[in-house]
A = this chain, B = another copy of it.
Amino acid sequence: MKLLVQKFGGTSVASIERMEQITKYIGRAYDEGYGVVVVSSAMAGVTDSLIDLAKSADPVPPEREMDVLLATGEQQAIALLSMILRKKGYPAVSLCGWQVPIITDDVHTKARIKKVGVNRIKSLIAEGKIPVVAGFQGITEGGDITTLGRGGSDTTAVALAVALNCDCEIYTDVNGIYTADPRIVSNAKKIDYISYEEMLEMASLGAKVMQIRSVEFAAKYGVRIHVRSSFSDEEGTWILPEEEVMEKVVVRGISLDTSESRITVVKVPDKPGIAAKIFKPLGEAHIVVDMIVQNVSHQGYTDMSFTVNRADAQKAEEIVRKTAKEIGAEDVVRDDRVAKVSIIGIGMRSSYGTAAKMFEVLANKGINIMAISTSEIKISCLIDEKYAELAVRELHSTFIENEEVKTIEA
């Protein structure tokens, strides 16, 4: 029997009415003869309310108890969804994480799955039942409830697909992954096929749709994921192993990240060990540094720039100011009005001149590049935030819409 995991996010189970609607996707697969395993998130808003409740009990709630509390959100959703499926004649049986079981480590609130038991699910399917599994939650070997962190239901679904060796459908409130944010680029189009690596690099586009860790997990085990809308019947985006992505393009998508700040340490004496002196205290303060740029040295001095998440910018600046004084730098300058624009595509590996083309597009519009970082399949430029949308539109027009630079020879 062909198996299929179908995962429904919070907006897909936001109300009894929405649950009634999504049963058509479950029912269709079941009627087509699939052994269907449903994974459900909590109803939209429930997890946030529970977090608020916990914070009113203790501003820093103990994480073990936080997991006990949060796990009730998905438990309620699977019970209600199973009731509705049964009302419609589909023999659903809800299963909490501990009932599957989804065995995790004991890092509460962000546990990682170690093992998935499939005996109970398989025997339910053999009886013609539809297991409806609570996403986001697991159980430690010691018998404690854990949760997998925000978006963890995606990971539950992928882990089940790995264990059952089948495809995984992720039902969400968008039609799939787009070549750029459609609110910025009116010509943005849905991507039919994307590789795991591209999906991972598309963080700013993709993270809103799927938890990054679940994509890494799928990549590791080669699970085919179909991200699609629970509000329409349209095909969505398939996330696949690279060799299965048929359409060869240079650039798969354009992503934009306006959540970072740039901090520049001005006129640093250029001596060995200076970078370590600057970045060690930031690491100790658990601040993640993204792009780092060190200019060439002039008369024994250099400028050092880096970006951090804007939420950490104030703290990072304070730490760096202290370091700057110690190492004799002239000044520290912080700029919150920056944007990181990126082009992503596995085709870049075998295509030349893509970076140069990107810089040219930005230059033609008079957009100054503050920093550049590259990976095998991604080029990112830090620019003034006010040009962010213009840059995305121009890059989309050049790399996605322009047939000349679009396709490549495999």
| Residues of A near any B CB (own CB < 8 A) | 16, 19, 50, 53-54, 56-58, 61-62, 64-66, 68-69, 71-72, 75-76, 78-80, 82-84, 86-87, 92-94, 96, 98-99, 120, 143-145
Does A82 contact B62, Cβ atoms closer than 8 Å?
yes
- By a CB distance below 8 angstroms, the chain B residues around A82 are 62, 65, 68
Q: How far is the CA of A203 from the CA of B354 in the complex (A)?
A: 83
Nearest first, the 5 closest Cβ-Cβ pairs linking A and B are A69-B79, A72-B72, A68-B79, A57-B83, A58-B87
Partner of A96, one of B53, B68, B83: B68
Residue on B with the closest CB to A81? B57
Given contacts A75-B75, A79-B69, contact A56 B16 (CB under 8 A): yes
Does B61 contact A72, Cβ atoms closer than 8 Å?
no
- By a CB distance below 8 angstroms, the chain B residues around A19 are 57
Does A86 contact B72, Cβ atoms closer than 8 Å?
no
Number of copies: 2
Does B71 contact A83, Cβ atoms closer than 8 Å?
no
Does B58 contact A79, Cβ atoms closer than 8 Å?
no
- By a CB distance below 8 angstroms, the chain B residues around A92 are 65
Given contacts A65-B86, A143-B99, contact A57 B75 (CB under 8 A): no
Partner of A80, one of B53, B71, B120, B145: B53
- By a CB distance below 8 angstroms, the chain B residues around A71 are 75
Does B94 contact A80, Cβ atoms closer than 8 Å?
no
Partner of A83, one of B65, B78, B80, B87: B65
- By a CB distance below 8 angstroms, the chain B residues around A80 are 53-54, 57, 65, 69
User: Considering residues A72, A86, A87, A144, which has the most beta carbons from chain B within 10 angstroms of its beta carbon?
Assistant: A72
Q: How far is the CB of A136 from chain B (nearest CB, A)?
A: 14
Q: How far is the CA of A50 from the CA of B75 in the complex (A)?
A: 12
- By a CB distance below 8 angstroms, the chain B residues around A144 are 99
Q: How far is the CB of A173 from chain B (nearest CB, A)?
A: 21
Does B64 contact A93, Cβ atoms closer than 8 Å?
yes
Q: How far is the CA of A94 from the CA of B78 in the complex (A)?
A: 22
- By a CB distance below 8 angstroms, the chain B residues around A57 are 16, 19, 80, 83-84, 87
- By a CB distance below 8 angstroms, the chain B residues around A69 are 75-76, 79-80, 83
User: Considering residues A16, A76, A87, A99, which has the most beta carbons from chain B within 10 angstroms of its beta carbon?
Assistant: A76
Given contacts A57-B87, A68-B82, A96-B145, 8 further A-B contacts (CB under 8 A): A16-B56, A54-B83, A58-B87, A61-B83, A65-B86, A66-B83, A69-B80, A99-B144
Residue on B with the closest CB to A75? B72
Q: How far is the CA of A355 from the CA of B310 in the complex (A)?
A: 83
Does A83 contact B58, Cβ atoms closer than 8 Å?
yes
Q: How far is the CA of A347 from the CA of B144 in the complex (A)?
A: 51
Does B76 contact A50, Cβ atoms closer than 8 Å?
yes
Does A65 contact B50, Cβ atoms closer than 8 Å?
no
Partner of A98, one of B50, B61, B72, B98: B98
- By a CB distance below 8 angstroms, the chain B residues around A145 are 96
Residue on B with the closest CB to A19? B57
- By a CB distance below 8 angstroms, the chain B residues around A61 are 83
Does B50 contact A68, Cβ atoms closer than 8 Å?
no
Q: How far is the CB of A135 from chain B (nearest CB, A)?
A: 15
23 contacts between A and B (CB under 8 A): A19-B57, A50-B76, A54-B79, A54-B83, A57-B84, A58-B83, A58-B86, A62-B83, A64-B94, A65-B82, A65-B83, A66-B79, A68-B75, A68-B79, A68-B94, A68-B96, A69-B76, A69-B79, A69-B80, A72-B75, A72-B76, A98-B98, A120-B143
